[in-house]
Amino acid sequence: PRLAIFGDSHYACLRQAHGQGLIDPAGVEIEYWGHVGKRFRFLSCQGGAIVPDDDYTAQRFAKFNEKGRTFLPAADFDMIFFMSCRIDLTALFQTLLGARRSGPFLSSGLQTRMAADRLAEQRLYTYAKALAETRTARIVLAPVTFPTLGYAGMVPPVPDAVHRATAEDRAAIWQMLADKAASDGITLLPQPEETIASGIFTHPDYAIADYEALDDHAHRNAAYGALIYRRVLALLSGKAAG
């Protein structure tokens, strides 16, 4: 099986998990294709491929790919895994979790529409959808994780009701998102429940080293990468992700 892992700086946790031997990808041909998020502003999707808009961006992506690829064609792979890729759903979760816990009441139809609209406005999500429409590679996507617990930069601030959100609350929202993604030909991977703390944050066990000193509440460590990687490999092998 041929697997491409496509991502912004958040995909470093996957490379670390791989490099540290925390996952077993035996028999899988894996390529990484990614760069820091700001370079994603210079990517387009055309002809069934993710294509840089200029030579400089193409060379930056090629630098970190095992084969020096300057673009990413869906037809070359059995699966392409979009890791984060600037697809951030935290604000949506804050709104919907707040509504579930304390109001205002939002009908299921309105919640579904809000979830669909949020996905549709994410540019890289539309690229994932376009690649899925080629019916060549299977497209799998994991959004940006929730901020690490202790992050105080959420706007608006997280209310107590959202801190009290339960696994069932989150699961209902993930299911709406997964259903919409499936209708677009995409398999969506929720953030693993065991990594979530205080309603809408990521447990510090999965933060990068020295995250407080670095003021980096966004990126994840190899332990988190291993959790996600195992789910992707299970999908690739046709086994249930656990």
Tens-digit pLDDT profile for residues 58-85: 999 999 999 999 999 999 999 999 999 9
Of residues 152, 141, 97, the one with CA closest to residue 119? 141
pLDDT at 102: 86
Identify the burial level of 97 via C-beta atoms within 10 angstroms of its C-beta, where 0-12 means exposed, 13-18 middle and 19 or more buried.
buried
Query: Could you tell me which residue, 21 or 105, shows the higher pLDDT?
Result: 21
The answer on pLDDT for 242 being more than 90 is no
Residue 104, preceding peptide bond in cis (omega within 30° of 0): yes
The answer on pLDDT for 116 being more than 90 is yes
Q: Are 89 and 144 in contact (CB under 8 A)?
A: yes
Q: Which H or E run includes 160?
A: helix 160-163
Q: In whole angstroms, what is the distance from residue 67 CA to residue 33 CA?
A: 10
Over residues 19-25, mean pLDDT? 96
pLDDT at 239: 53
Residue with tokens 């299921």: 108
Q: In whole angstroms, what is the distance from residue 214 CA to residue 85 CA?
A: 22
The answer on pLDDT for 194 being more than 80 is yes
Q: Residue 1: pLDDT band by 50, 70, 90 thresholds?
A: very high
Q: Are 196 and 202 in contact (CB under 8 A)?
A: yes
Is this prediction's pTM over 0.85? yes
